[in-house]
Structure 1
Amino acid sequence: MTVHDVARHLPEIAVLREHCRSIAVLEAALSPEWESRRHSFDDHWSETESMASMRSGSGDEYSIVFSAAGAYVRGFEHESPMSPYAEDGPWPGVLDEVPEVFRPYVEEPAFSDEDGMPVVTACTWRETTDDRWKSGTIDFPDAATEDPDGAGYLFQLLVDRTPEAFQRWAEGYYEVLVDLEAVRHVFSSRPLTEEVVRALNSEIVLADLSEDFAETGYPTS
């Protein structure tokens, strides 16, 4: 799977935004310690933008900026043959066709290294007037890999957005049983309740997530 395949499977911007926020809230309940989480959502990244992000802890990451212009998705898989560190710059085509309205994100310091080089192996975007997600014209490497830019790995929970997919991932990552009905509740963007929080993590209560609610903008009862 490449970013082209991912782009074909991503939903409309508003749906993706809610899904990313739901994943972040679920992880907040499963892991009260922020450092242990993979996914986060900042509803106030700037005065006009929200950002969803993922950090694997081993160098892999993605960032999705949601703005009035649309959404910009950047991913980096550190072992990808398309790493900018392998070619001394982003792989040809990955960023070349990013529209002007999203160019500030290409140069965003938070998405670059200390030398200002964009840290990216996969990129896709969608303006509010677009009818689909777009990505650059890329000649992918011939290496014997099904995931040359890391997009399949990075965006797996954005391509398969079922509660069951998240449950499988979370049980493997956190090594705990994850209540499927609670996941369905959050994926429906219904307000969190004490009952749902207890089903996800019996060691916390709803009030323990107050800072996460403020950051993500997720509704509470």
Structure 2
Amino acid sequence: MLQMESPALDAISTKNLNSMPEVLALKKLLQSLAMLDAIMSPEWDERFYSFNSNWGDNEQMGSMRNGCGDDFFVLFTQDGCFVKGFDHESAMSSWSTDGQVPWPDLLKGLPSEFIAASKEPAFSMDNISFCIWKLHTADFWGKGDFEFAVDEDPDGSEYLLEIFDCNPETYRVFALEYYEVDLDVATIAKFYNHLPLTDELVKEVNSEVTLKQLDKDILEIGYPGVDAT
């Protein structure tokens, strides 16, 4: 399992949802991560992060798969945002329950607007260790009404959601460990701020990739191109 540096005491997790970004900021971040990964890895199968800006009618979806069995899926709808995560080694993993079902009451209190998302086959809902959500009409991120397992990171959310801190340094550490490339934090910040792509910016990330090669990825991710205003 790929692990990053030790998180801060106020790290994002299901025990600390106050540090979660707002829905629109999260969508922007996931688009940025997907665009960076598309440049870092022209081969889709080797990417960590992806984003589909045309997942469904008025729906977008960001995801992470680490190749070791862990993942998260983030669905953006007209109603808000639904996040499903899976750390297969966590104490609250569905792999640790009878019948490979969610931890007891993990989804208790899920708004009706997200019921369909909780049954979406593409999200591999049999593989789950945590779930959080936020309606646009709500002031806070929510989670189920359940008892945590006794463990430092019982559901793996602190581990999997670390990248949600919107700090370019966190992606720099990830890229150094996963791609073995030490990116300039200032370059990563340009993506986090959604600066339009240019050949020059692309080559700051990967000198072997051109803007033209990224046409399909840019369209799928919905990241701003050079002509964006």
TM-score range, shorter-chain basis?
A: over 0.9
1:155 alignment partner, one of 161, 183, 191: 161
Secondary structure of 2:62 counterpart: strand
Q: Which has a greater percent of helix?
A: 1
Residue ranges of structure 1 left out of the alignment (5+ in a row): none
1:165 is matched with 170
| Alpha-carbon distance, 1:6 to partner | 4.6
Moved runs in structure 1, 4+ residues, more than 4 A?
Answer: none
**Identity of aligned pairs, percent?**
39
Contact kept? 1:2, 1:152, Cα under 8 Å: yes
Residue identity in the other structure for 2:80? G
Count of matched residue pairs: 214
Contact kept? 1:106, 1:118, Cα under 8 Å: no
2:6 is matched with none
Superposed, which structure 2 residues align to 1:111-122 within 5 Å? 111-112=123-124, 118-122=126-130
Residue ranges of structure 2 left out of the alignment (5+ in a row): 1-10
Contact kept? 1:64, 1:74, Cα under 8 Å: yes
2:217 alignment partner, one of 208, 212, 219: 212
Secondary structure of 1:45 counterpart: strand
1:192 is matched with 197
**Corresponding position: 1:131 with 2:139:** yes
Contact kept? 2:12, 2:20, Cα under 8 Å: no
2:22 is matched with 12
**Corresponding position: 1:101 with 2:113:** yes
2:5 is matched with none
Give the distance between the partners of 2:12 and 2:189, measured in 1 at CA.
Answer: 28
2:73 is matched with 63
Cα RMSD after superposing both structures:
1.4
Secondary structure of 1:43 counterpart: strand
Give the distance between the partners of 1:179 and 1:190, measured in 2 at CA.
Answer: 15
Contact kept? 1:6, 1:155, Cα under 8 Å: no
Residue identity in the other structure for 2:201? V
Report the CA distance shift for 1:2/1:139 in structure 2 as closer, same or farther (over 3 A): farther
Q: What is the TM-score of this pair, normalised by structure 2?
A: 0.89
Q: What is the TM-score of this pair, normalised by structure 1?
A: 0.92
Moved more, 60-69 or 164-173: 164-173
Give the distance between the partners of 2:185 and 2:91, measured in 1 at CA.
Answer: 37
| Alpha-carbon distance, 1:164 to partner | 1.2
| Alpha-carbon distance, 1:61 to partner | 0.3
Report Cα offsets for 1:86-131 as digits up to 9, x if no partner: 212210121121111100111111123xxxx632111100001011
Give the distance between the partners of 2:208 and 2:34, measured in 1 at CA.
Answer: 18
